[in-house]
Amino acid sequence: MGHGWQGAVLKLMRGKDFTFTVTGAEQVTGDYRRLHFTDGGLLAAAGVHPTMWVRLWFDDGGKPHQRAYTLVDPDAEGGTFSLEFALHDGVASDWARTCAVGDTVEAALQGTGFETPDPLPERLLVVGDAASLPAINSLLDAFPDLPATIWFETRHASDEGLPFRTDLARHDLRRVPRERGGAGLVARVKAELPALAGSAPYVWIACDTSTTRALGGYARKELALPKERVHALGYWRDG
C-alpha cells in the first residue's frame, strides 16, 4: 500500500520507515487494548526517549490512513515495544481489535522528540486522557522522584481499569468526566492549576486539540509560565 501525499511529505521531512510485527495482545478494558510488537530495527536506529511516538499506516478502503501512537515499554536491546489503543469507531481501532500474531503494520518515525526540563521542575502538572495515557506513563517513569498532579479526562466507566503508573505517595490523580466537548476539563484545570503553578512546575498537556489549545494558552498567557516550561500538543480532534 502506498502512503499517498502524507507519506511523500514525511519522506521530504526525512521520516524513516519501519515494519512492525504483532507478537501478542491484551484487552486491558472493554475500551482499551494493548498490542505487542517487534520493532523492525526502529529502536536500534533511533534510540528511546520519553513520550516517543510513531505513525502507523492503515488501509482505509484502498486509501492510506495514518495515526500516531506512543511507544510503551520500549526495549532497545530486545527490539520490542507495545502500543495501547483507546478504542472507538475508526480504521485504526478496527485493526487493533482484529489483528493477529504475525500480522504486520507499516510505520514512520518523524517528528518525535523530548527535551528534559533544565533545571528539573519541582512538580509535574499533567493534563490528558486515554489517548495520551501511554505518554503520561512514560513521563512518570522518566521522572520517578518528582511529585505529579494529573488531571485525567474520562469517557467510559471502564476507564477506572486503565493502566495508570501512578504512586499514591507521589502522584495526585484527578479524574474528570468529559463534559461539553472538553469544557468541563478546561474549567476544572483553570480552577485548580493556579494554586500549583507557583511550585516551579513543568506543565504537560495532551488531550483533544481545542482543549489543549485553551489550556496551553491559559498556562502561558494568564499564568505567565515560561513557554519552555509548558508543553501542549493536541492528540486528537473531536467530531
The answer on 150 and 71 residing in a single domain is: no
DSSP E strands: which ranges in the chain?
16-29, 32-38, 53-60, 63-70, 72-75, 80-86, 104-109, 123-129, 148-154, 171-177, 201-206, 230-232
Domain with 105, as residue range(s), is 4-109
The answer on 103 and 165 residing in a single domain is: no
User: Is the pLDDT reported for residue 238 higher than 90?
Assistant: no
Collapsed DSSP state (helix, strand, coil) of residue 91: helix
Q: What is d(CA 229, CA 79) in angstroms, rounded to the nearest whole number?
A: 32
pLDDT average, residue stretch 53-63: 93
Query: CA separation (Å) from 92 to 15, 23, 65?
Result: 20, 18, 8
The answer on 223 and 136 residing in a single domain is: yes
Pairing of strands 53-60, 201-206: unpaired
pTM value > 0.85: yes
Residue 195 domain flag: yes
Residue 92 CB neighbours (<10 A): 21
What is the pLDDT confidence band of residue 26, given thresholds at 50, 70 and 90? very high
What is the pLDDT confidence band of residue 7, given thresholds at 50, 70 and 90? very low
The answer on 222 and 128 residing in a single domain is: yes
pLDDT given for residue 15 in this prediction: 63
pLDDT given for residue 10 in this prediction: 42
Give pLDDT tens digits for 181-235.
Answer: 889 999 999 999 999 988 889 999 999 999 999 999 999 999 999 999 999 988 8
The answer on 227 and 134 residing in a single domain is: yes
- Please report, for the domain that includes residue 219, its CATH number: 3.40.50.80
Residue 237 domain flag: no
Q: Compute, in degrees rounded to 10, the torsion defined by CA atoms 197, 202, 206, 208.
A: 20
Q: Compute, in degrees rounded to 10, the torsion defined by CA atoms 16, 21, 26, 31.
A: 50
The answer on 79 and 142 residing in a single domain is: no
9 against 226, higher pLDDT:
226
Q: What percent of the chain has pLDDT over 90?
A: 80
The answer on 128 and 74 residing in a single domain is: no
The answer on 131 and 90 residing in a single domain is: no
pLDDT average, residue stretch 76-94: 95
- Please report, for the domain that includes residue 73, its CATH number: 2.40.30.10
Looking at the 3D structure of the chain, how many domains does it have?
2
Give pLDDT tens digits for 92-132.
Answer: 999 999 999 999 999 999 888 888 888 999 999 999 999 99
Beta bridge partners of 205: 127, 232
Mean pLDDT, all residues of the chain: 91
Residue 27 domain flag: yes
pLDDT given for residue 110 in this prediction: 84
pLDDT given for residue 213 in this prediction: 95
pLDDT given for residue 66 in this prediction: 92
Q: What is d(CA 171, CA 219) in angstroms, rounded to the nearest whole number?
A: 21
Residue 194 · residue 184 · CB < 8 Å: no
Task: Give me 40's grid cell.
Answer: 523492525
pLDDT given for residue 71 in this prediction: 97
Residue 59: its H or E element: strand 53-60
End of a domain among 59, 78, 109? 109
Sign of CA dihedral 31, 34, 39, 45: positive
The answer on 203 and 130 residing in a single domain is: yes
Altogether, the residues listed in the chain come to a count of 239
pLDDT average, residue stretch 47-51: 94
Q: What is d(CA 86, CA 129) in angstroms, rounded to the nearest whole number?
A: 9
Residue 115 domain flag: no
